[in-house]
Structures are given as C-alpha cells and as structure tokens.
Amino acid sequence: MVQKKRKKTTSGRCASHRKRKSRTRRRAFILWVTALLLIPIALVSLGAYLLLSPAGNARENTYIYVRPTTTLTDVERQLQQNTRLRRPSFFHLAARYYKLGEKLRPGRYGIAPRMNTKQILETLTHGKQSAVRFHLRHVRTQEDLIGRMTGKLMMKPEELSSLLADSAFCDSLGFDPHSIRSLFLPETYEVDWDIKPKDLVLRLKRYYDRYWTAERRSLADSLGLTPIQVSVIASIVEEESGKADEYPQIAGLYIRRLREGMLLQADPTVKFAMGDFSIRRILHVHLQTDSPYNTYKNKGLPPGPIRLPHTSTMDSVLRADRHGYLYMCAKEDFSGRHRFAHTYAEHQRNAALYRKALDERGIK
C-alpha cells in the first residue's frame, strides 16, 4: 500500500514538471516572437526619428551646389562642411535608400538650419532649387555686364560672351553685338543657378519687352527714335549728370543736336571709348581717340549704350524738354549741375569759367 502511494506521487511530480517546462517554452517562444516584431518597429521608429530630426548644426542658411559632374560623395562633403552633419553615416544610408546619387540634378539648393534629413533629400532629389538674385545697376561695359550676370551662376563668362557676340543671335532679338546691351535693364533679377546663357538672355528680354509698352514706343516714334536709340541717349544723359531733374533738359539738348546734324560731343562717350571713367578733365588728346563711341569724331549716336541706363532716365528721354539749347557745360562750383547755352559764344564763356575752376583746383 505504501509503495503504490509513493509511485503515484512521483508520477504527479513528473507531470507537473512537464507542464512547467511547457509553459516556460511557450513564454520563451512568445518573447522571441515579440522581440522579432518589436525590433523592426524599434528600428523603423529610430530611423523615422533620425530622418525627421535636424540633420546638421548650422545656424544660418547655406547652399549646396550641384554640377553635372557632382557625385553623392561631393554632396555629402559639402553638407559636412556647410552644415556639420550630426550623423554622416545615417545620412549616407538614407541617401542611398533615396537613390540620391542617381537623382541628382544640377542646381543651387538652399539648406535651412533646422532642415531634417528627409527634407534635404527631397529638396535634392526633386530639384527644388533656390533662385539666384543679381542686379545690373551701375554697369558700363560688356565685361561688367557679363561678370555681373555670370558671377553667381554656373555658366562660364566666355559662354555668355560668345553668345552676345553672335550676330545671328543678336539679330534674332532685334539687336547687334553693340546694341544688345540695350536689352538689359538695371533691375534685380532672380534666375536658377544652372540657367543656360540663351535662356538667361531670353528671360531678361521679357523685362525689356514689359518696359517697352505701346505708349512708350509711341513716344519714341514721336521723337523719331527707336527703343535702342532711346537707351543710348539715356546712357549718355546718365553719365553726364547725377541730377535727375536735369535729365529731360539734357536729353532735349542731345535730341536737338541730332536733328541739326551736329556732332554730339559728349564727354562721357570719350571716357567710354578710352575705357577710363576716372578722367576728370577731357583734353584735346583724348578727343582724338579712334572709336565708334567717340562722339567728337563720329556723327550720330554711338553703336550702343555707354552704361545700362535706368528706366526712369529712359522715361526722361521719352519726355525730353523742348527747348533751344545746343550746348552744356559743368558748373564751376562742381555741384554736378550744368549751364546750358543757345549759342557757341555763350557756351565758350561757360566753358571758360569751368576751365578756370579746374585750374584753380589743380585738376589736369
């Protein structure tokens, strides 16, 4: 009786042990499965966190420049230099996932201080460029013009120079290689960094066409002038005086000299012909400069503007004063204003006063 009872107790213990072992295995399996499910979720959550957190430590806007030959490594190098990437390795993995190396498009891309990795990658892969702003104020020569436009763009100066020297291209727009400068107005422009030379010129011509309304063209016609001639006269007027209230009077003087068939004899054209705008006193030797821009030697207007005149100055030409003045000379007080004269004798007296003032100041 006793032995049988012990056997039963031992059998019960084994069954209980097997149950505990089974429960342990089930718990381990559940934990293992749970871990398998949680690890990817954790990794995805971590990836999302890293993807959506600020990518760099920059405190101000910066730019990434992508050329046709730029690689993913080049982009990462720029980002590291400009934004000090917090996690370069993660950015590299994310960039590979987005296939950034295959989707890079030439352009200038703005990177704000708090942009996250996802925003940067989408900006670059979608080609969301930041426009380049440049202005064309105070431009005189072709070299100035080309340098001002290409200085902030991907295109090379020689590419734009070659285009503006192309007679066929200029002619297609109604200009020639000299007068093409009339097309460019001294405004502020915004264009894509990777814009092509031809597209740039055509883009800026829209502003020119917008300025030359039917009313302005009618005013030019009434003066017997073309839009290009208005631009050339305005450029001379603007170089002659820094006083805008004198512009209509000076414009009227030059228009009258043109109608009379007289040489314009505009000192600024001599400076332009010589390529020296620092000259303060025009001498006889300067007047002998051989150039189509020298209005002391050539009748009519120069072949192109001697600076990019403001549209307000062009408006002054279109509304030039009607008067009898044929001559002008800078005032001897160096105020920047001028004395106007109807006759050459009167002009000579004004010129004598100015020459005396130059001598007294030792300006040679």
SS3 state of residue 328: strand
pLDDT along the chain (364 residues), means of 10: 50 60 67 61 51 74 95 94 88 90 95 90 93 95 96 97 98 97 97 98 98 98 98 98 96 98 97 93 93 97 98 98 96 94 96 92 86
pLDDT score, position 96: 92
- The yes or no reply on domain 62-125 and CATH 3.40.430.10 is no
Count CB neighbours of 174 within 10 A: 15
Q: What is the pTM of this model?
A: 0.83
DSSP symbol at 155: S
- DSSP H stretches of helix in the chain: 2-52, 72-83, 88-97, 100-103, 117-125, 142-150, 157-164, 167-172, 197-211, 214-222, 227-240, 247-260, 267-274, 284-287, 311-318, 344-360
H or E element in which residue 61 lies = none
Query: What's the gap between Cα 250 and its chain centre?
Result: 33
Domain locations along the chain: 62-125, 133-211, 214-325
The structure tokens listed for 88 are: 């370069």
Predicted local confidence at residue 28, as pLDDT: 65
